[in-house]
Amino acid sequence: MKLITEEVSQVEFITEGKGANKKLYIEGVFLQGNIKNRNGRMYPVETLAREVNRYSEAFVNKGRALGELGHPDGPTVNLDRVSHKITSLVQEGNNFRGKAQLLNTPMGKIASSLIDEGVTLGVSSRGVGSLREDHTGAKVVGEDFMLATAADIVADPSAPDAFVSGIMEGKEWIWEGGALREQVASHTRKRINTLVSQKRLEEHKLGLFQEFLSNI
């Protein structure tokens, strides 16, 4: 199975409460089914509905649906990078609308500060699954798709993400012993999510790509 990420920029950041009770939330469409997205992938809505139901029961309803700030390099949620908790994820036709609360963690505080300063942020779903190409050329996500998180917070989803996603999707992941483990397909040793700005990503892009190719 491959790591699959999808970016969504049309989300809202809303504030509820005042003073000590003030809370910041992300709200919008986190997942879309039955439509070919800009990455050329299509998620059957039945596959998404099944997985969202599982994810909601196992994580959202139990207060365990967490997301990170930035682009993680695998399907595991890293607790030291958690910035928010997903509080709801419901189906609306072919869309799945979510809401997430920013947490009082180091990464949550950074995200809140960026929002307060007017930085445009988006969200990115992250999961693993197989892909097959249909007659239209779309890459259809398989029934084995599993969500790692419905939403990570990302900066400027329209800019460096095609490169980041391309590197990460070169890896293969297998379900083994109740956990997802990386299968050797390609190894990019440096963590791309440390290149927090597009400018730095541009500076290091060639080197990262060469390193990626050398490990195929």
pTM, rounded to two decimals: 0.73
- Bigger pLDDT: 86 vs 71: 86
Number of structural domains in the chain = 1
Write down the pLDDT at residue 9: 72
Residue 186 pLDDT grade (very low, low, confident, very high; cuts 50, 70, 90): very low
In a domain, 188, yes or no: no
Query: Is 171 inside any structural domain?
Result: no
Question: Do the domain assignments include residue 184?
Answer: no
Q: Select the more confidently predicted residue: 31 or 201.
A: 31
* pLDDT-based confidence at residue 118 (cuts at 50, 70, 90): confident
185 is a domain residue: no
How distant, in Å, are the alpha carbons of 9, 49, 54 from that of 132?
26, 19, 23
Helix axes 161-168, 198-214, angle to 10 degrees: 30
Q: Is residue 202 part of a domain?
A: no
Q: Quick check: is 183 in a domain?
A: no
In a domain, 114, yes or no: yes
Q: What is the pLDDT of residue 177?
A: 62
Q: Lowest-pLDDT range, 39-48, 68-77, 198-207?
A: 198-207
Share of the chain above pLDDT 90, in %: 48
Specify the higher pLDDT residue, 172 or 92. Answer: 92
- Domain span at residue 86? 2-157
Compute CA 134 distance to the chain's CA centroid, rounded to the nearest angstrom: 24
Residues noted as catalytic: 71, 124
Mean model confidence pLDDT for the chain: 80
- pLDDT of amino acid 37: 85
The model's confidence at residue 74, banded by pLDDT at 50, 70 and 90, is confident
- What are the residues whose beta carbons fall under 8 Å from the beta carbon of 21, sequence distance 6 or more? none
What per-residue confidence (pLDDT) applies to 44?
Answer: 97
Determine the Cα–Cα distance for residues 46 and 52; give it in Å rounded to an integer: 10
Is 156 a residue whose pLDDT tops 80?
Answer: no
Q: Please indicate, yes or no, if residue 189 is contained in any of the structural domains.
A: no
Question: 166 near 150, Cβ under 8 Å?
Answer: no
Q: Which is more confidently placed, 215 or 105? A: 105
